[in-house]
C-alpha cells in the first residue's frame, strides 16, 4: 500500500502547490529535435491530430511553464546534469520548459478528454487550450461526453473547475475519477499535513468533487467507455492512473505524469522529480509502463511531452528514447 512519509508528502505537495536493452546508446530523439524545423509552427497551430486504429486523437497545447533551475527539481541529479540533458535533447538549457498538453479522443460517437488543462489558473504562460486551441482543433467543449482524470494535481483538474465559483466548466460531461486517488485526497486529516502553499488545492478538491453529480469512481482495469480502460500507475500520486486506448490491434497508453519532460525523464528513468510523492514507486511504474509499451508495440503519450506529445518508446542503453509520431 502507498504510504508516503510526512517528509515525502510535504516536499511533493509543496512542489505541486507552488505551481500547482541495447549494448550502446542510440541518438535520443526529442520532440524539439525530431521536429526542429516545424516545432514552432506546431506550437503556433496549437494542436495535432493522429489515429489509433479507428479512433481519432487530438492533442491540444495549453502552454508552458518556464521553470527556473534549482537543485531540488531532480532530487538525484545536479543542475549541471539537467542542463546537459536538455542540450543533448536539442533544447535550450536556460530554464526547464514544462509544457501542458491535453488529449481528446473521438470513438464510436463519444468524445472523451483526459484531464482538463490548467484552465489558465496557474502559470501565466498557460491557459491556451480553453482560450483558443480547443476551438482551433475542432473540439466543441459542449460535446465532450466524458472527462477521465488521471490524478488531482491542479494543472490537470483546474480546467474543469471555474476559478471564481468552483462550478463545473463542463456541466454535461461525466467525470471519471480514479478511486484510489479520490480516497487519498478526501482524507480529512490530509490538509493539516500539507504546507500552507499546497492546502488550497486540497481544500478545493474536498469542496468540489463530493458535491458534483454525474461523477463516477473507477478501479484499475475498469472500462471508461468502449475501447478505454483504466491502468493503475502509482507513485507520482497514490492513485495516479493512466488509460489504455485500444482499436483493433492498435493501442495508445495515456501515461499522464509517470514522467515529466522526455529529454530528462524518458532518457533518464532513474531520475526522481520533486513532484513525485513516492519517487521509488514512480520510477518502478515508469519503467514498467515503458517496457509494456515496447512489448505491446503501443503508442504512448505524456501530459508534459509537448507537441507532438505521443509516439513510441525504444530501449536506449540504460534508459529509453522517445520517438514522436509523425503529424
Tens digits of pLDDT across the chain (327 residues): 445 554 445 445 555 554 443 233 333 333 343 334 346 788 889 999 999 999 999 999 999 999 999 999 999 999 999 999 999 999 999 999 999 999 999 999 999 999 999 999 999 999 999 999 999 999 999 999 999 999 999 999 999 999 999 999 999 999 999 999 999 999 999 999 988 888 999 999 999 999 999 999 999 999 999 999 999 999 999 999 999 999 999 999 999 999 999 999 999 999 999 999 999 999 999 999 999 999 999 999 999 999 999 999 999 999 999 999 988
In the DSSP assignment, the letter for residue 11 is: H
What pLDDT, on the 0 to 100 scale, is given for residue 9?
52
**Cα 108 vs. chain centroid, distance in angstroms?**
24
Exposure string of 51-90, with b = 16+ CB inside 10 Å and e = fewer, is: ebeebbbbbbbbbbbeeeeeeebbeebeeeebbebbeebb
Angle in degrees, 0-180, between the axes of helices 196-208 and 6-19, rounded to the nearest 10: 80
77 Cα distance to chain centroid: 22
pLDDT of res. 327 = 82
pLDDT at 43 (0 to 100) = 86
Q: Dihedral (C-alpha) 71, 234, 305, 209: value to the nearest 10 degrees? A: -100
pLDDT of residue 158: 97
Nearest-angstrom CA–CA distance, 101 and 254: 12
Query: What is the C-alpha separation between 244 and 251, in angstroms, rounded?
Result: 7
* pLDDT confidence of residue 146: 98
Strand segments, DSSP code E, in the chain are 47-52, 55-67, 96-107, 110-114, 146-148, 174-178, 215-218, 223-225, 228-232, 241-247, 250-254, 299-301, 310-316, 319-324
6-324: CATH class: alpha beta
**DSSP secondary structure code for residue 118 in this structure:** -
Closest CA relative to residue 266, chosen from 48, 15, 28: 28
CB 106 within 8 A of CB 140: no
Amino acid at each position: 500500500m502507498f504510504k508516503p512519509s510526512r517528509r515525502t508528502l510535504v516536499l511533493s505537495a509543496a512542489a505541486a502547490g507552488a505551481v500547482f536493452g541495447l549494448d550502446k546508446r542510440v541518438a535520443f530523439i526529442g520532440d524539439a529535435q525530431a521536429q526542429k524545423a516545424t516545432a514552432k509552427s506546431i506550437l503556433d497551430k496549437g494542436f495535432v491530430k493522429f489515429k489509433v486504429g479507428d479512433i481519432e486523437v487530438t492533442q491540444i497545447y495549453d502552454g508552458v511553464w518556464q521553470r527556473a533551475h534549482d537543485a531540488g527539481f531532480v532530487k538525484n541529479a545536479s543542475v549541471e546534469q539537467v542542463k546537459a540533458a536538455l542540450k543533448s535533447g536539442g533544447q535550450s538549457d536556460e530554464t526547464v520548459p514544462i509544457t501542458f498538453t491535453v488529449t481528446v479522443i473521438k470513438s464510436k460517437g463519444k468524445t472523451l478528454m483526459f484531464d482538463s488543462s490548467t484552465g489558465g489558473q496557474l502559470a501565466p504562460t498557460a491557459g491556451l487550450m480553453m482560450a483558443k486551441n480547443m476551438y482551433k482543433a475542432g473540439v466543441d467543449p459542449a460535446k465532450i461526453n466524458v472527462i477521465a482524470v488521471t490524478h488531482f494535481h491542479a494543472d490537470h483538474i483546474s480546467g474543469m473547475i471555474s476559478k471564481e465559483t468552483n462550478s463545473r466548466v463542463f456541466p454535461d460531461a461525466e467525470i471519471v475519477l480514479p478511486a484510489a486517488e479520490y480516497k487519498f485526497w478526501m482524507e480529512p486529516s490530509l490538509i493539516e499535513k500539507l504546507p500552507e502553499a499546497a492546502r488550497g488545492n486540497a481544500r478545493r478538491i474536498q469542496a468540489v468533487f463530493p458535491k458534483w453529480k454525474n461523477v463516477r469512481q473507477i478501479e484499475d482495469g475498469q472500462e471508461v467507455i468502449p475501447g478505454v480502460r483504466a491502468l493503475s500507475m502509482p507513485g507520482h500520486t497514490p492513485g495516479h492512473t493512466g488509460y489504455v486506448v485500444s482499436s483493433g490491434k492498435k493501442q495508445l497508453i495515456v501515461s499522464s505524469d509517470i514522467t515529466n519532460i522526455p529529454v530528462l525523464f524518458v532518457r533518464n528513468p532513474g531520475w526522481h522529480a520533486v513532484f513525485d510523492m513516492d519517487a521509488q514507486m514512480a520510477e518502478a511504474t515508469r519503467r514498467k509502463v515503458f517496457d509494456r509499451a515496447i512489448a505491446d508495440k503501443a503508442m504512448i503519450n505524456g501530459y508534459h511531452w509537448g507537441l507532438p506529445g505521443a509516439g513510441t518508446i525504444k530501449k536506449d542503453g540504460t534508459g529509453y528514447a522517445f520517438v514522436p509520431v509523425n503529424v
